Amino acid sequence: MSLLAIACALFGIGLYGVLVRREIIAVLACVEVMLGGALVLLVGLGANVAHRAGALGALSVQGIALVIVVVAAAEAAVGLALLVAVARRRRTTRLDELTEVRG
């Protein structure tokens, strides 16, 4: 199976989960799966670039992959912090019940 198919499958599974799930934790997990799919594709393309362009091209792709990992970790931390704040205030984690936006 090609790397593109694996990355697209991961991204598609994550997108389906984001569109279908109603729990905030499940939506955050599906966003992480989507980021994982993008990371798999990027690392695979980086291996191809390293084979053709040499070490400099590989280092730039590895740097971008590292930035994606850092962004995914920061997104998870901020998302879980927001989840805890919403759960304490509203006593629910269902997206259907969180329809009102006010401070």
Domain at 16, CATH number: 1.10.287.3510
Note whether residue 96 is domain-resident.
Answer: no
Please report whether residue 97 resides in a domain: no
Work out how many domains the chain is built from and give that number: 1
Kindly tell me the burial class for residue 35, based on how many C-beta atoms sit within 10 Å of its own C-beta (0-12, 13-18, 19 or more): buried
User: What are the DSSP calls for 59-94, one per residue?
Assistant: HHHHHHHHHHHHHHHHHHHHHHHHHHHHHHHHS--B
Is residue 103, in this structure, part of any structural domain at all?
no
Residue 102 lies inside a defined structural domain of this protein: no
HSE, CB side, 13 Å, CA atoms: give it for residue 42: 18
Contact 61, 46 (CB under 8 A): yes
* Residue 39 resides in a domain: yes
The answer as to whether 34 is a domain residue is yes
Residues β-bridged to residue 94: 23
Q: What is the pLDDT of residues 29-85, one digit of tens each?
A: 899 899 899 888 888 877 776 667 666 666 777 787 888 889 888 988 998 898 888
**pLDDT at residue 102 in the model:** 66
A 10 A CB-CB count for 42 gives: 17
Instruction: Domain of residue 46: give its range.
Output: 3-90
- With bands split at pLDDT 50, 70 and 90, how would you rate the model's confidence at 17? very high
More confident of the two residues 100 and 18: 18
